[in-house]
Chain A
Amino acid sequence: MEHALAEIIHESGSILPTILAIISIAIPFIGFLIIGIFGKIAKKRAPLLGTIFIGISMLISFVVLLLTIKAGVPSQELSFTWLQTGNYVLDFGFRVDQLSAVMLVVVTVISFLVHLFSIDYMHGDTGIARYYAELQMFTTAMLGVVTSTNLAQLFFFWELVGLCSYLLIGFWFHKKSAFQAAKKAFFVTKIGDVGLFIGMLIIFVQGDVNGIHTLNLAQLPAAVKSIALVTPALVTIIPLSIFAGAVGKSAQFPLHVWLPNAMEGPTPVSALIHAATMVAAGIFLTARIMDLFVLDLSGTALIVVRLFGAFTAFFAATIATVQDDIKKVLAYSTISQLGYMIMSLGVFHHSHGALIPIGYTPALFHLMNHAFFKANLFLGSGSVIHATHTQNMHEMGGLYKKMPITGLTFVIASLALAGLFPLAGFWSKDAILTSLANTLSDGWVSWVPFILALCAAFLTPYYMTRCVWLTFFGKPRKPNHAHEASWKTTLPLITLAVLSVLIGFVGAPFFGELFQRFVFFHEFEHEVVNWTIIFGSTGIIFAAVFLGLAIYAFGWLKREKLIRAFRPIYVFLKNKWFIDEAWTFIAIKPLFGISKLALWIDVYIIDGIVNGTAWFAGKLGQLIYWFDSSVVDGLVNFMGWITVQFSNLVKWFDENIVDGMVNSLAHTFGFFGKYTRRMQTGFVSNYAAIMFVSIAIALIVVAIFIF
C-alpha cells in the first residue's frame, strides 16, 4: 500500500489530489442541493446532514494535504475548455498546489466546526435548513476559489462566495438592519470587483501568449509580459486593479465599511466567513497573482499594496479600542489583521534585478493562524451572546465563573491574537514584522508601514484585554443567567483553542520551518530570526495588556476621565473615522443625484415624447373617426334608408294586394256561407219539402225530356 502510494505520488504532479479536491468540492455542493430542495421537509436533519457532509469533505482535504506534502509538487491539472472563440480561450479546471492544499484544510476544518457549533446556536430557527444550505454552498464556492486554474473561473467562484456572504449576512431578512447590511456588503465588495474585472479584461484582450488569449493562472505572467511590451504602464495597473478586488473582499481601507455591518448575520457565519475564510480570499488572490506583481520591477504595485495594508491595520485597530459591541471589536480586529497580511504581501527585496516578495510566506502563515484563533474568538462571542442575550460588553461581566470553557478558550485565542509567545499568533506576527524590518533600508516606504504595524501591535493586545475583561471578569454589570452550552458549542471552541496554541509551531524557526518549506514563492526562503523584534513585540504586548488592565480591571485610570480628556479623538474613533459619512458624501449622494436626474429625464423628456406621440395619434384617430362617422356612415345610412323605403313598398304591396286577394276570397266564402248555411235549419219538414220539390221537378223534367 505504501509502495503503491509512493509510486503514485512520486510522479511529478499526480492527478489524485485533483480528483480528491474535486470530490471534496462536490460534496458540500451536493449537500447544498439536498438541503436546499428537501430542507423544508427535513428541518431536523439538515444540521446533522450538513455537518456530516463537511466532515467528509474535511477528511478528504486532510488526505489531499498529506498527498501534497508527500509529493512536494503541485498536482496535475484537470481541466476542459470552457469557452472558445477563435483565439480567445477560457478553460475550466482544478489543480491542487501547496497553497491550495493548506487553504482546503483551513476552510473545511473551520467550516466543519462552524457547522457543529451552529447545531445548537441556530437551534429552533425556522430558516435553519436555508442556513445550512447556504453554508454548504459557501464552502463549495470557497473551495472552488482556492483550486481554480483560470482567473475567470476564480472570478466565478469569487462572486459565488460574495453571493453566499450576502445571503448569510441577511439571513434574518426581516430585520431591516440585517438586509441593509447584506446589501452594503454586496455593493461595497462589488466596487472592488469592478477593479478585478477590469484587470481581467485587460489581460484577456491585450495579453497574447503565442497568439492565444487566455486567463489561465499559469500563463498570466506571460500574458502580462506581452502587454508590457506594448504598454509598460499597464504592468503596474493590472495587478493593482486585480488587487482592488482583494481590497473589497478583504475589507481593506476604504472598502472595509461592510465588515462591521456584516455582524448582523448569525455569529457562526461571522466566524466562518468574516474571520477565517471569505476575507482570506482577497489575501489568497493577491498571493496567487504575486507573479504579476513582481513583473513591475519598480516595485510600485507592491509598495501600494503594502501601504494599503499598513494603514488599514493601524486605523482599524484604533477604532476597535472604543467599540462597545463585542462583535464589532472582533470585526475591526479582523480588518486590522487582514491589513497585516496585505501589508506583508507587499514586502519585497530587490535582488539580481528581480523582486523577491519575502513577505509572501509570513502573510499566508498568518492567514492560517488568524483563521483559527479569530474563529475561536467569534464562536466564543457567539456562545457568550447566546448565554447573555446581549452584545454590549458593558452589560456583561463575571462570565468566567459561569462559562469557564468559553472563557478559557477566549482568553487563549485573544492572547494568540495579541501575539504572545509561544502561541500561534506570535510566530506569524513576528515573521511579518521581521520581514518588514529587513527592508527598512528602502526608505520611508518601509518605515511608515513599520511604524503603523508597531502601533497596531500595541493596540491589538489593549483592545483584546479590554474586551476580555469587560466580558468575562469583574462583577456582572447586569444580572444574567449565563451557563455553558452543550458539547456541540464547547468542542469547537476547545479544538480551535488547541489549534491556536499548537499550529504556530509548523512555521516556527526552531521547529523545522515546515510551513515555509511547504508554501513559498518559487523558492524557499530561510527566515532569519530577529531577536530585537521578538523581545520588542513581547514588551509591547505586556505594556498594552497592562494598560488595558489598568483602565478596566484595576481602575487606576478612569475610563470616563480618559474619554473627557481625549474627547475629540474619542469622538473621531467612535464614529469610525467618519468613513461611512465620507462614502455617503462621495458615492451615495452623487449616485442618488444621478438617478434623480435620470428619473427627471425619463419622466419629462422621454415620457413627454411618448405622450406627445400618443396625443398626436389621438388627434389623428379623431380625424379618422370624424371621416368615418360622417362620410362613410352617411353613405351606409343612405343605403339603409333606401332599403327601408323599398321594403315599405313591398310591405304595402304584400299587405294590400296579396293579402287583399286572399282576404277577398275568404270574404266571398264567408259571404256565401252566411246565406247558404241558413239552409240547415235543423227542421225536418224543411228538408222534406225540399225533397218533394225536387221530386216534382225531376218528374217534370223526366216527363218532358224523356217521355
Chain B
Amino acid sequence: MTDTYLLLILGAALFCIGVMGALTLRNAIRILMCIELMLNGANVTLIAAASSMPETSGVGQSMVVFAIAVAAAETVIGLGAIVAMYRAKGWVTLEKFNLMKW
C-alpha cells in the first residue's frame, strides 16, 4: 500500500463520490459541481501516475493543465445551459425535465 496506491484510491474515491452526487442530486448546479469533483478525481489520478515516474512527471502535469482548461470550458457551457433552462422553466430541478419519458 504505497503512497501511489493511496493517491490512486483517493482519486477513485473522489471520482465515485462525484458519481454518487451526479446520480442522486436534484439541483442541476449541484450535479455540475459533482462533475467538477469527478474531474478533480481524474486529475488526482493523473498526478499519481506522473509522480510515480519522476523522469517524465512533466508530461503528466501538462495533461493536467489541459484537463483543467477543459473543465473550465465545460463548466461555462454547462452553466450557460442551466441558466437558459432556468429562463425557460423557472426551475432547474433535473428530475422535472422528463419530456423524453415514454
Residues of chain A whose beta carbon lies under 8 Å from any beta carbon of chain B: 677-678, 680-685, 688-689, 692
Contact = CB atoms under 8 A, between A and B. Distances in A.
B71 to A, nearest CB: 18
A682 B95 CA distance: 9
Nearest to B100: A682
Contacts of B100: 680, 682
Given A688-B22, A688-B23, A681 B101 contact: yes
Contact of A685 (B23, B101, B102): B23
Contact of A677 (B22, B31, B99, B102): B102
B16 to A, nearest CB: 9
Contact of B98 (A677, A682, A688, A689): A682
A685 B94 contact: yes
A684 B102 contact: no
Interface in B77-102: 94-95, 97-102
B95 to A, nearest CB: 6
Going nearest first, the 4 A-B pairs with the smallest beta carbon separation are: A682-B101, A682-B98, A682-B100, A680-B102
Contact of A682 (B19, B22, B31, B99): B99
Nearest to B95: A683
A678 B24 CA distance: 19
A672 to B, nearest CB: 14
A677 B24 CA distance: 22
Given A685-B22, A692-B23, A678 B94 contact: no
A678 B102 contact: yes
Nearest to A686: B23
Given A692-B19, A692-B23, 16 more contacts: A678-B102, A680-B101, A680-B102, A681-B98, A681-B101, A682-B97, A682-B100, A682-B101, A683-B94, A683-B95, A683-B101, A684-B97, A685-B23, A685-B24, A685-B31, A688-B22
B98 A683 contact: yes
Contacts of A685: 22-24, 31, 94-95
Contacts of B19: 692
Contacts of B94: 683-685
A683 B99 CA distance: 9
A667 B19 CA distance: 39
B102 A682 contact: yes
A210 to B, nearest CB: 129
Contacts of A677: 102
Contacts of B102: 677-678, 680-682
A683 B31 CA distance: 14
Contacts of B31: 685
Contacts of A689: 23
Contacts of A692: 19, 23
B90 to A, nearest CB: 19
A685 B24 CA distance: 7
A685 B30 CA distance: 13
Residue from B23, B98, B99 having most chain A Cβ neighbours under 10 A: B23
A678 B102 CA distance: 7
Interface string B11-25: 000000001001110
Nearest to B31: A685
A103 to B, nearest CB: 126
Contacts of A682: 97-102
A681 B102 CA distance: 6
Contacts of B97: 682, 684
Contacts of A678: 102
Interface in B56-85: none
A683 B22 CA distance: 12
B83 to A, nearest CB: 18
Contacts of A680: 100-102
B4 to A, nearest CB: 18
Interface in B23-50: 23-24, 31
A540 to B, nearest CB: 146
7 contacts: A682-B100, A682-B101, A682-B102, A684-B97, A685-B22, A685-B24, A685-B94
A685 B23 CA distance: 5
Nearest to A680: B102
A692 B97 CA distance: 21
A680 B100 CA distance: 7
Contacts of A688: 22-23
A684 B98 CA distance: 8
Contacts of A681: 98, 101-102
A296 B2 CA distance: 181
A383 B94 CA distance: 134
A687 to B, nearest CB: 10
B27 to A, nearest CB: 12
A684 B93 CA distance: 11
Residue from B31, B95, B99, B102 having most chain A Cβ neighbours under 10 A: B102
A688 B18 CA distance: 12
A697 to B, nearest CB: 14
A689 B94 CA distance: 14
A133 to B, nearest CB: 106
B38 to A, nearest CB: 10
Residue from A678, A681, A685 having most chain B Cβ neighbours under 10 A: A685
Contacts of B95: 683, 685
A681 B101 CA distance: 5
Contacts of B101: 680-683
Contacts of B24: 685
B96 to A, nearest CB: 10
A681 B100 CA distance: 7
A678 B101 CA distance: 8
Nearest to B98: A682
A688 B23 CA distance: 7
Nearest to B19: A692
Nearest to A676: B102
A677 B102 CA distance: 7
A149 B102 CA distance: 122
Nearest to A673: B102
A589 to B, nearest CB: 114
Contacts of A683: 94-95, 98, 101
Nearest to A677: B102
A696 to B, nearest CB: 10
Nearest to B24: A685
B41 to A, nearest CB: 13
